Amino acid sequence: MQNLQRTQRQPVDAGVKIQVEATAMQKLWLWTDMAKGEVSCLGFVDEVVNADTNCITALVVTDFFLVKQNCSYDETDMDPSDVARLITELEAKGIDSRKLRCWAHSHGSMSVFWSGQDETCISGLANSEWLLSLVVNKRRDAIMRLDQYHPSHMYLADVQWEVKFPLVEGLAEACMSEFKSKVQEVAFVPRNRDYGPASLRNAKERGALTMDQLEDELEWLGLDRDELEPF
Ligand SMILES: [Zn+2]
């Protein structure tokens, strides 16, 4: 029988937006599907810096590069000389090879986790700053990890990340005009601004909430019925 129960993961917010561009992610999924077992690649990462604060606000993986490697059912071993070849080629094109700061690999049909071999590989990829690692599988599970090497090696094993879809030219304008012509928005109070007993009372008075819905909201908010008197 198929087990539909999956362990609930709780990726943490690393305090910086982490994204993988859609085309790069598509390459990784294609290589993941082509491989019988494991496969790995190196990702190019752009730092997005806030001009006012000079702080990094996002790390964006913009592309993945495949290097020569030996792979098996449960191992992937990149050829160091071919990694060196990639670095030389990037530098020759005037591209800063230090931006190769993402190691992605697939576990094939196995589950996603950080194995002892992965730990060794990540330690071996140590630079003086940081590294993103992404482990995926054929089932489209994926975990992103952020390692910091300086001043000491520490990491977040499961960080929040997302796929970044490129903005299609003209799409925002087209969506806006269609939205304006079809969507009528009545005046409403945003939930996060005023969502206390008073707004619930108003909603009930307007007939926007049934008594059952009101009970649900009260329970969710952890409020007592008495706070809403005279209901
Ligand atoms: Zn692994």
Show me where the domains of the chain are located. 17-164, 186-228
Please give the Cα distance from 106 to 140 (Å, whole number): 10
Q: What is the pLDDT of residues 84-100, one digit of tens each?
A: 999 999 999 999 999 99
Please give the Cα distance from 15 to 154 (Å, whole number): 15
Strands (DSSP E) contained in 160-219 are: 162-164
Q: Which residues are close to ligand 1, an ion, with C-beta < 5 A? A: 115, 118
Distance 127 CA to ligand 1 centre (A): 20
Please give the Cα distance from 46 to 60 (Å, whole number): 5
Q: Is the pLDDT of residue 208 over 60?
A: yes
User: Is 17-164 in CATH node 1.10.1740.10?
Assistant: no
User: At 49, which helix (H) or strand (E)?
Assistant: strand 39-49
DSSP helix/strand/coil, 148:
strand
Query: In this structure, are residues 46 and 62 in contact, taking their beta carbons and an 8 Å threshold?
Result: yes
Please give the Cα distance from 32 to 30 (Å, whole number): 5
Q: What is the pLDDT of residue 198?
A: 72
pLDDT-based confidence at 1, cuts 50/70/90? low
Give the residue with greater pLDDT, 97 vs 218.
97
Distance 88 CA to ligand 1 centre (A): 26
Distance 148 CA to ligand 1 centre (A): 19
Q: What is the pTM of this model?
A: 0.75
Write out the two tokens for 57: 């606000």
Q: What is the pLDDT of residues 158-187, one digit of tens each?
A: 999 999 998 899 999 999 999 999 999 887
Decide the pairing of beta strands 17-21 and 162-164.
Answer: parallel
Distance 120 CA to ligand 1 centre (A): 10
Q: Is the pLDDT of residue 142 over 80?
A: yes
